Structure 1
Amino acid sequence: MEFFLLLILVYLVGAIPWEKCLGSSFRRNLILWVLLFDFFSAAIVVLLIWWGFGFFAAHLAAILVVLGQMFSCFCKFRERSAYAVAAGALLILSPVLILAGLLFYLLSLLVTRYIILSNFLATIAVIILSFVLATHVTVWFLIIGLGALLLFRQQKNWRKRWRRRKIF
C-alpha cells in the first residue's frame, strides 16, 4: 500500500504545472526556469525511488513522472510536452545516453533552428543510441517506450506545421 501511494505521489510530482506556479515570479526567463524545474524534479524523484525501492521501481517512477507531465490532472489532461521530464528521469537511469542525446539535440538545433525537428531528431538518436549505450535491457525497453510515447504525442505539432506549408 505504501508503494502504491508513493507511485501516485510520483505521478503528481510529474503533473505539477511549473509554468503556472512560476508564472508571476520569473516572467523574463520563464521557459528556462520551467524546463529546469521539470528536468530536476523528475531526476530527483527517480533518484529517490531508486535509492529507496530499487532499479525496477525507478523504471516505474520514470514512466509515471512522464505520464504525469503528459496527462496532468492539474491541467485538465490537456497536451503538454514532456521532453525535459523524460530527460531528467532518464538521466538517472542512463546518464551517458542522455548526455549524448542532449549533444545531438543542441547540434540539430544549431543546424536546423527548429525546436520540433530537433526534438524529433534527438528522440530518434536516443532510441538508436540505446542499442549501444544502454546498460540494462530494461533501460532499453524504457527508452524505446518513452521515445515512442513522446513521438506519438508530438504528431499533432508536426501536422500543424506541415499543414501551413504549401508546395506551390
Structure 2
Amino acid sequence: MAGGNFYDRADEPATLYVVQNAARKALKVGIANRDRIDGRLREHVRYGWTTELTLDFEKGHQALQVERAVIAFLRSCGVTSCLPQYDMPQGGYTETFAHSDIADFHIEDLSYLAQLATRLVHRANSPLHAHVLQLLELGDAMMSYAKESRKEEARELWEVLRPAMEETIRALGGE
C-alpha cells in the first residue's frame, strides 16, 4: 500500500478492490484499510484506472488472505506479467496483471475469482466453522481413545461431543 504500512493495521477493517486500466491492458487486485480506501481508489483513478469491484472485510488479514490467494492462483495458471514499477507511481505494481488481452484474461474473471476467494475466507473465519472444527477434533480424540482401548476417556468425550453435535444440528435448522 503506497504511503502506509498495511501490515501494521491488518486487524482493522479493510477493503479488497479490483481495478483495470484499459489503455495499459492491465488488471489489478489490491487492499487498503477501510478508512483509506476512498483515497486509494482516487489515486488509481488519477492514473487512468477504473474501479470494478470492492469487497469489505472485518479484518485486514482476511483481505490479505484473499489477495494472496487470487494472485497465487493466477500465477499458478501462468499469468506472470505485471506492469513495470514506473507505470505505477501510486504503488502496487506487483499485484497487477499486464497484457491481459493476450492471456485472454478479463476483468470478470478477476472479479469472480476475488468474490469466490472472499466467500471461502468468510466461511473459514465464521463461528460455525470454528465450532465444527472443534467438534471434529473431539471426534478424532474420541476415536483415538477407543482404538487405544481407553474406553472411559472415549465415553467422557462422547458425553461432551453428543450434546454439542445435537446443538449444532438444531442451530442449522435440523431436527
The TM-score, its normalising length taken from structure 1, stands at 0.30
Higher strand share: 2
The TM-score, its normalising length taken from structure 2, stands at 0.29
Over alpha carbons, which structure has the higher Rg? 2
Higher helix share: 1
